[in-house]
């Protein structure tokens, strides 16, 4: 059974067949937190996972352990896990559940800076967990954050503005400098398109997990469409 660790835990999935090196910006942002570094090794459907593990397991394990060690050297509580899999999304979902992580970083490239964070809010769903996670992240970094809401009609603008302004107020109540907090509210017929366009001005996007699981999120919904369209990394705050 995985050990229980205090505080927020973040799952960092990496392609174990070619994990590369995490950017220093990512190390700096995540190092104050508990991490599970998941090396998922994609295996073709016609190949048995055991066969792939026997051939590449030692090399993949060493690579992922080295990355976890780099995070640990910067102060993170980091453990490494390597899974040979036919289904990346299912493996990420299962690992997130097994280790009871609070957030999942989407696989993909991370830039040299992670100073500007966009947080799209769609309503009250998972709001407490999102704001709690953002507060911890900001207390442990110098990043700035923009609360962002998209409505489909002008009639809902005031409700969206109330949501993002209230989120900023609650973060300020948590001790975050108000100069590091801004908000934006827009009207658009396509929330994913608006979020993707806004994300171009930021280094990282933090979104809430949709019900009922990461697997279902990956199969559809606003969050998944943003993932598909955005070149920026996303941190998905789980609802559990």
For 72-101, write each residue's pLDDT tens digit.
998 889 999 999 999 998 999 999 999 999
**pLDDT attached to residue 75:** 86
Cβ-Cβ contacts under 8 Å for 100 (sequence gap 6 or more): 2, 4, 9, 240
CB-CB contact of 145 with 138 (8 Å): yes
DSSP for residue 4: P
For residue 147, what are the β-bridge partners? 119, 183
**pLDDT attached to residue 160:** 86
Can you tell me the distance from the alpha carbon of 81 to that of 62, in angstroms, rounded to the nearest whole number?
Answer: 11
Three-state DSSP at 46 gives coil
Where is 53: in which H helix or E strand? helix 49-73
Q: What is the pTM of this model?
A: 0.86
Mean pLDDT value across residues 51-73: 96
Condensed to tens digits (0 to 9), the pLDDT of residues 154-209 reads 766 788 899 999 999 999 999 999 999 999 999 888 888 898 889 889 999 998 87
The full set of domains in the chain, from first to last, is 9-105 (3.40.50.620), 116-235 (3.40.50.620)
CB-CB contact of 189 with 150 (8 Å): no
Mean pLDDT value across residues 50-78: 94
pLDDT at 137 exceeding the cut of 70: yes
* Closest residue by Cα to residue 49 from 13, 85, 88, 91: 85
Percent of all residues in the chain with a pLDDT value above 70, rounded to a whole number? 84
* Mean per-residue pLDDT over the chain, rounded: 86
**Is residue 99 packed enough to be buried (19+ CB in 10 Å), middle (13-18) or exposed (0-12)?**
buried
Can you tell me the distance from the alpha carbon of 226 to that of 55, in angstroms, rounded to the nearest whole number?
Answer: 36
Where is 148: in which H helix or E strand? strand 144-151
């Amino acid at each position: 059974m995985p050990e229980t660790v205090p505080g927020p835990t973040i799952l960092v999935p990496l392609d174990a067949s070619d994990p590369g090196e995490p950017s220093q910006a990512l190390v700096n942002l995540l190092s104050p937190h508990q991490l599970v570094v998941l090396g998922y090794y994609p295996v073709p459907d016609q190949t048995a996972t055991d066969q792939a593990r026997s051939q590449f397991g030692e090399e993949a394990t060493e690579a992922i352990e080295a990355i976890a060690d780099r995070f640990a050297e910067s102060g993170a509580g980091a453990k490494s896990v390597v899974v040979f899999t036919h289904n990346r999304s299912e493996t990420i979902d299962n690992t997130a559940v097994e280790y009871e992580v609070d957030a999942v970083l989407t696989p993909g490239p991370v830039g040299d800076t992670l100073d500007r964070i966009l947080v799209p809010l769609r309503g009250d769903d998972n709001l407490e967990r999102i704001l709690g996670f953002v507060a911890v992240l900001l207390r442990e970094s110098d990043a700035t954050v923009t609360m962002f809401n998209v409505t489909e009609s002008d009639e809902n603008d005031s409700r969206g503005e109330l949501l993002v302004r209230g989120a900023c107020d609650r973060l300020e109540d948590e001790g975050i400098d108000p100069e590091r907090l801004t908000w934006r509210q827009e009207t658009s017929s396509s929330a994913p398109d608006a979020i993707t366009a806004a994300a171009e001005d930021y280094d990282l996007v933090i979104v809430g997990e949709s019900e009922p699981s990461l697997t279902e999120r990956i199969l559809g919904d606003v969050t998944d469409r943003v993932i598909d369209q955005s070149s920026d990394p996303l941190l998905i705050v789980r609802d559990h």
